[in-house]
Amino acid sequence: MPKKAKILIIEDEPAVSMMMVHLLTRAGCEVATAWDAAKGMELAEAGNFDLITLDVDLSGLGLSGFEICHRLKEEPRLRHTPVVFVSGRFSQEDARHGLELGAVDYITKPFGAADFAARIISHTTVKTRPAKQLPPERATA
């Protein structure tokens, strides 16, 4: 039986956080939540998560999600943990900035339930799934 993906949700809007927990637990994930930046950093450093979702605008510690992502990517033990921003900010500049900081995805709110769960699950399985070998003629293309 495959291991359940362990996901940390850092989201300061309780209704959004609860919906994300519902969607991901229904998809078979183990989920922990933090409703502010301080608790999010504490859980990220203490846990062994397969993926972290992160809102850009957070309360606590005076840190934005961008700053938390930057800190996570500086930590040797955490730098390879995929980060997905889930934000109400629609700007392309914000999305680009998040990806430049090392996030693997940037999902804008509101999001579709099926799309959200599929994207999160996809990012948790990429690092554990064996890479498919390309046929020799495609490998050099």
Q: Check: CB of residue 94 under 8 Å from CB of residue 20.
A: no
Q: How far apart are CA 131 and CA 133, in angstroms?
A: 6
Structural domain for 103, as ranges: 6-139
Is position 93 within any domain? yes
Q: Render pLDDT for 48-58 as a digit per residue (tens, 0 to 9).
A: 999 999 999 98
Is position 1 within any domain? no
* pTM, two decimal places: 0.86
Is position 72 within any domain? yes
List CB contacts of 103: < 8 A, sequence separation 6 or more. Answer: 54, 69, 82, 83, 84, 85
Q: Render pLDDT for 82-109 as a digit per residue (tens, 0 to 9).
A: 999 999 988 999 999 999 999 999 999 9
Does 81 have pLDDT greater than 50?
yes
Is position 112 within any domain? yes
Provide mean pLDDT across the span 39-67: 90
CATH number of residue 46's parent domain:
3.40.50.2300
